[in-house]
């Protein structure tokens, strides 16, 4: 079997969408629509966490846990300013990195 077909990247699409949401969040930081960005970013981070844990690649879940906690819409942190905007850039980079590098075996992470 070809080695390239033994793995797949389940977090690629949520990673790309999450990165786009983080960048879009930069433009609505001061508006009411920012709550939607919080929900979107935290839900996509939780989806990637599930993929990482199911595929037994739990170390890729760690940066997404941080993103899910910081962008939590239920008990939000009152961050603002330049540091919070930089956090959006770092979160977007984390989404892209985890989405690209999280590779799960086709068997769902089960060892043979």
pLDDT along the chain (112 residues), means of 10: 70 97 94 92 97 91 96 89 94 97 75 50
Give the predicted TM-score (pTM) of the model: 0.86
Q: What is the pLDDT of residue 76?
A: 86
Q: What is the pLDDT of residue 110?
A: 54
The C-alpha atoms of residue 106 and residue 98 are separated, in whole angstroms, by 18
Q: What is the pLDDT of residue 5?
A: 55
> What does the block give as tokens for 48?
């990637």
Q: What is the pLDDT of residue 33?
A: 87
CA distances from 25 to 13, 41, 102, 110 (A): 18, 9, 24, 37
């Amino acid at each position: 079997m070809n080695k390239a077909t033994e793995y797949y990247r389940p977090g690629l699409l949520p990673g790309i969408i999450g990165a786009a949401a983080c960048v879009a969040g930069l433009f609505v930081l001061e508006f009411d629509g920012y709550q939607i960005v919080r929900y979107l970013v935290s839900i996509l981070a939780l989806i990637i966490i599930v993929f990482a844990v199911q595929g037994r690649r739990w170390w890729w879940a760690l940066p997404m846990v941080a993103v899910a906690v910081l962008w939590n819409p239920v008990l939000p942190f009152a961050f603002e300013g330049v540091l919070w905007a930089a956090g959006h850039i770092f979160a977007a980079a984390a989404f892209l990195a985890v989405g690209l590098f999280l590779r799960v075996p086709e068997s769902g992470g089960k060892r043979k």
